[in-house]
Amino acid sequence: MFRHIKKLLALSVALIMSAGLLSGCGADPDVTPAPTPSPTASPESPDGQATALTVGDIQITADEYNIFYLNIYNQFIQEYGYDDADPSDMGDDFYRMIEEETDKTVQGTVSMAAEARKNGMDLSEESRQMLEQTLASLDEKAEELDLSTDDYLSTLFSQGVTRAVYGKSMADALLAEQWIGEKAESFTYSQSEYDAYYDGHRDRLDTVSIRYFPIRAEDYLEDQDQDDEYDDAALTAAGQEARSIAYAFLDKVDSQAAFADAVIEFAPEDSAEHYRENPDATLFSNLSLSDLPENLYAWLADSERREGDKTVVESDGFFPIMYFVSRQRADYQPVTMRHILFLFKDEEDTETATPTDEQKEAAGTLAQDAWDRWKAGDATEESFAELANEVSEDEGSNYTGGLYEDIPLGQMVAPFEEWCFDASRETGDTGLVETMYGFHVMYYVSKADQPAWVDLAHEQMIYDSIDAYIDEIREAYPLVKDEYGMSQTILRRL
């Protein structure tokens, strides 16, 4: 699954990193600069117009290659935490990896843009505006530094990278992205194809329900001054204690009820009461196998797994306990809804997980008043969204009209989820729901046309189809490097 994602992302790396450059990448002293050539390693005036490589019969100059290369270089530096590293200390393997990623990105972007043009596609209005805005932002940045745009770009990339050269590369990236999007939408599949795909990919499409509780070594470190660092002996001792506790927990588990009891026994004091009041807080339902980290996936996807199986997943200082409940196909239909949340708050007007009856009543009154206010007005989805933006205390949705789209089963707390997935629910239904967080004014929008497993199968089949298409196009547009031209790129001059 990750191979096709890498390929798709590779096509838009240049575009993504172009946006990053506008925020000052390459000129910001807090960001690791792109590598610059040693003055003794290459000519002072490299031939940037030399052809570094060809993609099919399309020539890519050294200057154009530099744009791709340095964008990808900076992406790796920032994404993987090399900010304090000296590029010269990273070794040949690092630069070889950057070169390989650059080659794939150049080949993918250029070939897809060429296919788009061959099929009569031009930049959309949205893409044109993005290109114009990007170039205008570059102009503004250059002006701030009292440079021409060409000179500014030469400081970010290499001498010879002008506004026109940069604009061409970005236009190719935008057009390639458009073409891949249109191609993805062109793939359609029948129900029998979905069924066949499911039969062959259950380990990617099924969901599981589990009990899960983590034991962390950090919870067993002895208190010391906050500014002190723990020594290796203390960390090792805490890890051993956490591991011992995890297996003591596991020994007590022979049912879901026993798991819930063990959580209360072994949880840190400051959270034990939470688990006592919410015994299903450790129950995670309908988790997509394809979304799980590898260390959990390997155990949960085992075809021999049965209800009641249990394990400790050991890692460095972290020992989660898992209890297997069930495995199933995601036959439910995801729902879309809006809500307005009024949190339980204490006397200091701060969110609380242990509200008094009076604090619950206060939140409930606010929710009822908001619901009544909506019903007294237009009572439409639009007016509900406006009210949610005005009064909801859910920071994750009080700027989108309280909207949650395509909610999967098992994601929300039980009372919230039970209301959403009620079989009798119809568009426009409203109501009040109390959860551990507060009171929610609910508005039901719709449910998906297809079961969740079909949507997931469709998405993965699209990825596979695009994967195959990209391989096909790469073969039609072979990449051939020119020794002299590559010697003029910044890569060969490091």
| Cα dihedral: 172, 176, 179, 183 (round 10) | 160
pLDDT of the residue at 77: 78
Residues 318 and 340 in one domain: no
> Would you say residue 271 lies in a domain?
yes
> Would you say residue 492 lies in a domain?
no
Question: Which comes out higher in pLDDT, residue 79 or 252?
Answer: 252
Residues 350 and 321 in one domain: no
Name the token pair of 287: 């988790």
> Would you say residue 462 lies in a domain?
no
Residues 296 and 350 in one domain: no
Q: Last residue of some domain: 305, 328, 351?
A: 328
Residues 40 and 152 in one domain: yes
pLDDT band, residue 249 (cuts 50/70/90) = very high
> Would you say residue 238 lies in a domain?
yes
Q: What is the mean pLDDT of the chain?
A: 87
CA distance 333 to 335: 6
CB-based contacts of 123-126 (< 8 A; 24+ apart in sequence): 123/171, 123/174, 123/175, 123/178, 124/178
pLDDT of the residue at 245: 95
Q: pLDDT by residue (tens digit) across 320-348?
A: 999 999 999 999 999 999 999 999 999 99
Where b means 16+ CB within 10 Å and e means fewer, 182-221 reads ebeeeeeeeeeebeebbeebeebbbbbbbbbbebbbeebb
What's the maximum distance between 2 C-alpha atoms anywhere in the chain? 79
Q: pLDDT by residue (tens digit) across 399-435?
A: 999 999 999 998 898 899 999 999 999 999 999 999 9
Residues 127 and 245 in one domain: no
Q: What is the mean pLDDT of residues 346-359?
A: 93
Q: pLDDT by residue (tens digit) across 269-286?
A: 888 888 998 888 899 999
In 217-317, beta strands by DSSP E: 283-288, 310-312
Residues 153 and 45 in one domain: yes
Per the structure, the complete domain to which residue 379 belongs is given by 335-447
> Would you say residue 183 lies in a domain?
yes
pLDDT of the residue at 16: 36
Name the token pair of 284: 């995670």
Confidence (pTM)? 0.74
Q: Return the percentage of the chain with pLDDT > 90, whole number.
A: 71
Residues 10 and 154 in one domain: yes
Residues 58 and 177 in one domain: yes
Number of domains in the chain: 3
Q: What is the mean pLDDT of residues 217-234?
A: 69
Residues 8 and 81 in one domain: yes
> Would you say residue 82 lies in a domain?
yes
Question: Does 263 have pLDDT greater than 50?
Answer: yes
pLDDT of the residue at 233: 84
pLDDT of the residue at 86: 59
Residues 177 and 96 in one domain: yes
Q: Give residues with Cβ within 8 angstroms of 475, minimum separation 6.
A: none
Q: Last residue of some domain: 289, 310, 328?
A: 328
CA distance 25 to 156: 8
CATH assignment at residue 215 = 3.10.50.40
Question: Does 445 have pLDDT greater than 60?
Answer: yes
Q: Last residue of some domain: 275, 303, 328?
A: 328
Q: What is the mean pLDDT of residues 130-144?
A: 95
pLDDT of the residue at 41: 36
Low-confidence winner among 20-34, 211-225, 419-433, 441-455 (lowest mean pLDDT): 20-34
Neighbours of 93 (CB within 10 A): 8
pLDDT of the residue at 442: 98
Residues 30 and 139 in one domain: yes
pLDDT band, residue 8 (cuts 50/70/90) = very low
pLDDT of the residue at 89: 65
Question: Does 43 have pLDDT greater than 60?
Answer: no
Per the CB < 8 A criterion, the answer to whether 222 and 216 are in contact is no
Residues 19 and 144 in one domain: yes
Specify burial of residue 270 (Cβ count, 10 A radius: 0-12, 13-18, 19+): exposed
pLDDT band, residue 42 (cuts 50/70/90) = very low
**Residue found under tokens 């530096």:** 77
In 83-220, beta strands by DSSP E: 207-216
Q: Return the percentage of the chain with pLDDT > 70, whole number.
A: 86
Low-confidence winner among 136-150, 165-179, 266-280, 471-485 (lowest mean pLDDT): 266-280
Q: pLDDT by residue (tens digit) across 73-83?
A: 888 877 766 55
Any bridge partners for residue 207, and if so which? 288, 328
Report in angstroms the alpha-carbon separations of 285 from 158, 185, 209, 408, 450: 53, 31, 4, 10, 20
CA distance 51 to 62: 6
> Would you say residue 202 lies in a domain?
no
Question: Does 14 have pLDDT greater than 60?
Answer: no
Q: pLDDT by residue (tens digit) across 50-70?
A: 999 999 999 999 999 999 999
pLDDT of the residue at 73: 86
